[in-house]
Amino acid sequence: MQIKKILPYTIFSVVLVVAALFFAEVGKGDDDINHCLVKYKSEWSKECSQCLDYSKSYKAYFRNECAKKIDVKVAAQEADKRWKTFVRLEMNPKDTVVAYACKGTGKYLYWVRESGDNTVVFLTDDEINEQFFAK
């Protein structure tokens, strides 16, 4: 008779613990929004309407893989070690952005924030070129 009284409370407790663990695990990925932007392709020497000579061009393609809008800043490094940057605001899920360099090194950088979150400030182009010049 005692077990019949305890069993519902035990089952309820187990369900609560499982639910708490589930929601704790789901919330982990939301803390780091950088996982939303994924580089899915890159290309060398492909036609680029912005480059006079694209024989040494480099393009890195990125996609928003999250279910929420994001703001991004992407950069591709030119042969002179300076970074060419591009900002895309309110990037919808599955939307893409391309970073390109006309004479590229194959290196790229990116920064991500939740769309409209102005508490996260992207580096300026000068700061990027200062901090990542030789990298």
Bridge partners of 112, per DSSP, are 72
The per-residue pLDDT for 23 is 53
Say what the pTM is: 0.74
Average pLDDT of the chain?
85
* Domain map (residue ranges) of the chain: 1-31, 34-131
Cβ contacts of 43 within 8 Å, gap of 6 or more: 58, 59, 61
Cβ contacts of 22 within 8 Å, gap of 6 or more: none
63-104 pLDDT per residue, tens: 999 999 999 999 999 999 999 999 999 999 999 999 999 999
